[in-house]
A and B are shown apart, each in its own frame.
Chain A
Amino acid sequence: QKEVEQDPGPLSVPEGAIVSLNCTYSNSAFQYFMWYRQYSRKGPELLMYTYSSGNKEDGRFTAQVDKSSKYISLFIRDSQPSDSATYLCATSNTGNQFYFGTGTSLTVIP
C-alpha cells in the first residue's frame, strides 16, 4: 500500500467553480501535510502547509486535514484558468522525508 493515494483525475471544471481535491494516507504518524501546484515543465511550488488536523485558509485556497479518517483535502473557490495545473498532496512524519501523491490534473475552462 502506498503511503499516499491520490485520484489522478483528470478533473475539468468551468471557471468560477469550486474544486475539491483529495488524498488519503496510510500512516497515522504523519503530522505535516502539504499541497503543491505543478505547472507543465516546472517544479512543484508549495501552496499550503498545515500541521496536524484542522483547516487552513489562504485566499481562494483552503486545506483541510482529518486525521481520524486520514483524509486531506484542498478546496479552490472561484477557480480561474490560471489554476489549471497538477496538484500534489504530500505528507511527512519527521519533516525529513516526504511522501507525495501521484497528482491530480486540473483544467479550468474559461
Chain B
Amino acid sequence: KAGVTQTPRYLIKTRGQQVTLSCSPISGHRSVSWYQQTPGQGLQFLFEYFSETQRNKGNFPGRFSGRQFSNSRSEMNVSTLELGDSALYLCASSVDSLGTQYFGPGTRLLVL
C-alpha cells in the first residue's frame, strides 16, 4: 500500500506570497492532519480534516487554511507569507479519529 505523499517536497517563496501544499493520504484513510515542524517549537498541530470537514484547528492565524476533497486528498494554503513560516509542513493520515497517524515526508518551505 502506498504511503502518504506530499507535493512539492521543497519550495522557496518570498515574503507576501502565498503557497499551496498538497497531501494524498493512504488509500482508505479519511482523516488528514497538518503540522508545522520547526527546530524551536517542534511539531505543532495546524488542523484536521475528516470527510471534507475541518474537525479541529490549532492555534495558528487565519493566514493558514486548508481543505479536503471528496477523495480525501487535502491541500493547505498559507497566504501573505512571513519569514517565520519557514518550516517543514507535515501531513498525516489515519483511518478514522482514533486511528494511528501515518506521516508523509513533508514539504520544506523556505520564505526569503
Contacts and interface: CB of A to CB of B under 8 A. Distances in A.
Interface of A: 6, 32, 36, 41-46, 49, 88, 90, 94-103
Contact of B56 (A45, A96, A102, A103): A96
Contacts of B48: 96-97
A91 B40 CA distance: 19
| Contact residues of A: prevailing secondary structure | loop
A99 B99 CA distance: 15
Nearest to B48: A96
Question: Lowest 7 A-B CB distances belong to which pairs?
Answer: A102-B42, A43-B103, A100-B43, A95-B98, A97-B56, A44-B103, A43-B105
A25 to B, nearest CB: 13
Nearest to A49: B100
Contact of A46 (B4, B44, B100, B105): B100
A43 B45 contact: no
B63 interface: no
B101 A100 contact: no
Contacts of A45: 102-103
A46 B94 CA distance: 12
Contacts of B70: none
A49 B98 CA distance: 11
B25 interface: no
B90 A44 contact: yes
B24 interface: no
B33 A98 contact: yes
B71 interface: no
Contact of A100 (B42, B97, B99): B42
Contacts of B103: 36, 43-45
A29 to B, nearest CB: 15
